[in-house]
Amino acid sequence: MERQKILLADDDPEIREVLRLLLTSEGYQVEEATNGRQLLNKLDDTVGLVILDVMMPDMNGFGVCAEIRKCSAVPVLFLTAKSQDSDKTLGFSAGGDDYLVKPFSYSELISRVKAMLRRYYVYGAKQNGADSVIRCCRTVEIDPHQCVVRQNGEEVALTDTEYRILVLLASHRSKVFSAQNIYESVWNEPYFYSSNNTVMVHIRNIRRKLGDDPQNCHTIRTVWGRGYRIE
C-alpha cells in the first residue's frame, strides 16, 4: 500500500526535523518546505495533508492556505503559538481544517493527523464509495462517488470540512442542525462554546462559494436560535 504523503512547512529546521521523524515513524511519507512559497511549489495531487506553520517570513500560513484553496481541497492543519479565538477564526476563514496550538503533545498531533487523513481518504475528497447524487436544489448537487459539489454543472472547490458540513445538511433536508450537532458530527470532538464560531465561519465560507442568495433554495438557512438547515 502506498504511503500517505504529508507536506510540512515550517521555517524552524528543528521543528521540521522532529515532526518528520515523528510522522515517518508512523509510516507517513513526509516532504518538507522551509517557507510558504516553497510549499505551494511542491503541492500536487499526491499530497493528503498539509501541516502549516502560521508565523513564517515572506508569506504567513494564512496567506499560504488561501492560495492552496484556489486549487486544492487537501486538508490543512495549522501549527501556531497563537491561541486566541480571533486567530483561529482567521485560520478557518482562510480555509484551514484544524488548528493545533504550540506547545502540543506528540500524541495529540498524531491523533489529529490520523483523523484528518482518514476523513480525507475515506469520507472526504478522496472517497470512492457511494454512488447516488444528493441534490441541494435544481442548481446544486453533491456527487458522493467523486466527493465533489457542482453548481450548474461546474465544480465548486470546497474544503474537506466544508464538504462534510454540506453533505450532513443536504442528507437531512429540512432538519435543523444546531452548531453543536454540526461540530460533534463533523469534527467528532466535544463541543465547547467557542466551537460555535468555528461552525459559523465554515457556514459562511460555504455560502460564499455557492453564491449567498437568500432567494435560492441551496442557500443554507439560519433558523434563529436553533441552527441551520437546507430546505
What are the beta bridge partners of residue 150? 141, 155
Grid cell digits, residue 51: 501541516
Task: Label residue 70 left, alpha or beta by phi (over 0 means left) and psi (-120 to 50 means alpha).
Answer: alpha
Supply the range of the domain harboring residue 14.
5-123
Q: What is the DSSP secondary structure assignment for residue 177, as one 8-state letter?
A: B
Among 168, 197, 201, which residue's Cα sits nearest to residue 182? 168
Residue 168's pLDDT is what? 86
**Terminal C-alpha separation, the chain:** 42
Residue 50's pLDDT is what? 96
Domain co-membership, 140 together with 116: no
Q: What is the rounded CA–CA span in Å between residue 152 and residue 192?
A: 37
Domain co-membership, 111 together with 202: no
User: Which of residues 123, 158, 192 is at a domain's end?
Assistant: 123
Domain co-membership, 10 together with 118: yes
Per-residue pLDDT of the chain (231 residues; tens, 9 = 90+): 467 899 999 999 999 999 999 999 999 999 999 999 999 999 998 999 999 998 888 888 889 998 988 888 788 999 887 766 677 777 788 888 888 888 888 888 998 898 888 777 765 555 444 446 777 777 788 877 667 888 888 888 888 888 888 888 887 777 888 999 899 888 877 888 888 889 999 999 998 888 866 555 457 888 888 898 887
185 domain residue, yes or no: yes
User: Which of residues 73, 97, 123 is at a domain's end?
Assistant: 123
Residue 129's pLDDT is what? 41
Q: In this structure, what CATH number is given to the domain that contains residue 64?
A: 3.40.50.2300
Helix then strand then coil, in percent of the chain rounded to 5, is: 40, 20, 40
Residue 215's pLDDT is what? 52
User: Which of residues 123, 152, 176 is at a domain's end?
Assistant: 123
**Structural domain count of the chain:** 2
